């Protein structure tokens, strides 16, 4: 301190003699902690933005909604920090740059720009030109006028250009399939056509050849044992293809995941399960046309018996591939998904998370423990509950055929199933 005081006196004396002002002391280097925090915040915001951009493609992506809200809150919170940083002359250029980027996001949130909102679809009449549609082009009054216009425009475009080789011949089935895509991806006609063509190409390249099953699916429900390699798969993956109906009229499919015995080689399991999913979808499309109502499944997943023996690379890879294919190429196919016999921690965790989920998501997903029958009884008929609580694995794989006979159709659904 003595030395610093004498140095100041010497510098002041020299300044009086020379007539020059002493040079200001050098500022201390910026602390590393704010820079590290700013860099971490930038990385987090960039990752969140990427998730948001990916999630915008789906209407009910909960993660994207949460991240979008976090993006807005973080940017607005960082705006005062930016102002304080600019007012501080010793701030580092890196910190200033980080906060400048954050301020742009904050400004976009505050002035209400649409940077984080899905872009509005172009009017169907501008997206693809086509003659005026009629309600019969979609198998009845299932679609709204806007959806109907997009469906008809895409159908017209598919017929005008070289059509995909596996495009269904029945135009009403095509309309139902397009309606599913529209419900999932919006009313941009060109985007709908692109997604639909991509799904047809995937089915052509990946599905097993099954013309007899496709023909049968036009007239009746099938069972899992009728799928390719079905008798072999019965001992590995118990699935009820059609276990009756929910009280709202949705066909019920039951998978006993906890009872699965994953094989070491999935070369037979892939064609079995993919054929099952595609055949189920064909049946849903046909019943949608005949009933005039978009048919979607009520999915049940029974986890009783679930253990570590299922956690293998083969099982995880198969599950990933199947879920990705189903979500991408079979949109708007289920009305509700219910997990039963879930471990207690899973049910408890979902109850906590469900408090922040949108009502539309909570209406479609339920996680139930071992005491599930009372709640399922609110959704399912007694005939359907038989397959859930009483049928053996072998019987389940032959649903809807019980004791060699087809399951009776519920009242009021004579048009839905032939």
> Alpha-carbon distance 349 to 367, whole Å?
9
Contacts of 297 (CB under 8 A, 6+ apart): 250, 251, 252, 253, 280, 284, 333, 334, 335
Q: What is the pLDDT of residues 219-259, one digit of tens each?
A: 999 999 999 988 888 788 899 999 999 999 999 999 998 88
User: Are 360 and 181 spatial neighbours (Cβ–Cβ below 8 Å)?
Assistant: no
State how far the alpha carbon of 179 is from the alpha carbons of 137, 232, 283, in Å. Answer: 11, 35, 16
Contacts with 122 (C-beta within 8 Å, 6 or more apart), sequence order: 188, 189
Task: Give φ, ψ of 33 to 5 degrees.
Answer: -60, -50
Per-residue pLDDT at 1 = 45
C-alpha–C-alpha distance, residues 184 and 279, integer Å:
20
Q: What is the pLDDT of residue 384?
A: 93
How many other C-beta atoms can be found within 10 angstroms of the C-beta atom of residue 76?
16
- 305 in Cβ contact with 258 (< 8 Å): yes
Mean pLDDT of 69-94: 45
Query: Could you say which DSSP state residue 226 is in?
Result: G
- Residue 352 DSSP SS3: helix
Rounded (5°) CA angle 306-311-312: 145
SS3 24: coil
Residue 40: pLDDT over 60:
no
What are the residue ranges of helices labelled H in 161-303?
Answer: 171-185, 189-206, 211-217, 230-233, 269-291
pLDDT band at 301; cut points 50, 70, 90: very high
Q: What percentage of residues in the chain have a pLDDT greater than 90? A: 33
pTM, two decimals, is 0.64
Task: Give me the chain's average pLDDT, please.
Answer: 73
H helices then E strands: how many in the chain? 17, 7
Q: Write out the two tokens for 368.
A: 């139930």
Give the least confident one: 91-100, 264-273, 365-374. Answer: 91-100
The sheet carrying 365-367 orders its strands as 239-240, 252-256, 297-302, 334-340, 365-367
User: Hey, how many other C-beta atoms are within 10 angstroms of the C-beta on 300?
Assistant: 26
User: What is the arithmetic mean of pLDDT over 152-179?
Assistant: 90
Q: Give the model's pLDDT for residue 105.
A: 44
Per-residue confidence band for 85, with pLDDT thresholds at 50, 70 and 90: very low
């Amino acid at each position: 301190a003595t030395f610093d005081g004498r140095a100041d006196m010497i510098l002041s004396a020299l300044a009086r003699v020379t007539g020059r002002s002493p040079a200001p002391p050098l500022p201390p280097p910026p602390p590393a902690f704010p820079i590290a925090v700013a860099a971490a915040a930038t990385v987090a915001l960039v990752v969140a933005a990427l998730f948001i951009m990916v999630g915008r493609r789906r209407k009910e992506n909960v993660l994207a909604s949460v991240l979008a809200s976090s993006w807005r809150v973080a940017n607005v919170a960082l705006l005062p920090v930016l102002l304080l940083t600019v007012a501080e002359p010793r701030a580092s250029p890196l910190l200033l740059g980080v906060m400048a980027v954050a301020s742009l996001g904050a400004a976009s949130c505050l002035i209400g720009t649409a940077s984080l909102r899905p872009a509005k679809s172009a009017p169907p009449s501008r997206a693809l030109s086509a003659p005026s549609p009629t309600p019969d082009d979609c198998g009845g009054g299932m679609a709204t006028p806007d959806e109907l216009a997009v469906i008809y425009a895409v159908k017209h475009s598919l017929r005008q250009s070289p059509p995909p080789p596996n495009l269904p011949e029945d135009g009403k089935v095509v309309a139902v399939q397009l309606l599913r895509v529209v419900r999932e991806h919006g009313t941009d006609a060109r985007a709908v056509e692109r997604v639909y063509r991509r799904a047809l190409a995937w089915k052509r390249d990946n599905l097993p050849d099954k013309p007899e099953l496709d023909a049968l699916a036009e007239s009746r429900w099938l069972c899992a044992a009728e799928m390719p390699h079905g008798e072999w798969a019965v001992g590995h993956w118990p699935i009820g293809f059609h276990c009756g109906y929910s009280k709202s009229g949705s066909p019920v499919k039951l998978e006993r995941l906890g009872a699965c015995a994953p094989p070491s080689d999935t070369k037979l399991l892939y064609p079995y399960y993919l054929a099952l999913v595609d055949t189920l979808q064909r049946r849903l499309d046909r019943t949608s046309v005949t009933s005039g109502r978009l048919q979607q499944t009520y999915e049940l997943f029974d986890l009783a018996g679930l253990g570590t023996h299922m956690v293998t690379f083969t099982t995880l890879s198969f599950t990933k591939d199947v879920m990705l294919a189903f979500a991408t190429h079979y949109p708007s196919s289920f009305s509700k998904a219910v997990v039963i016999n879930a471990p207690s921690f899973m049910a408890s965790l979902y109850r906590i998370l469900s408090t922040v989920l949108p009502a539309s998501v909570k209406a479609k997903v339920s996680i139930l423990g071992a005491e599930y029958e009372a709640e399922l009884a609110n959704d399912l008929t007694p005939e359907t509950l038989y397959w859930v609580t009483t049928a053996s694995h072998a019987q389940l794989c032959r649903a809807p055929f019980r004791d060699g006979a087809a399951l009776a159709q519920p009242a009021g659904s004579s048009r839905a199933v032939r």
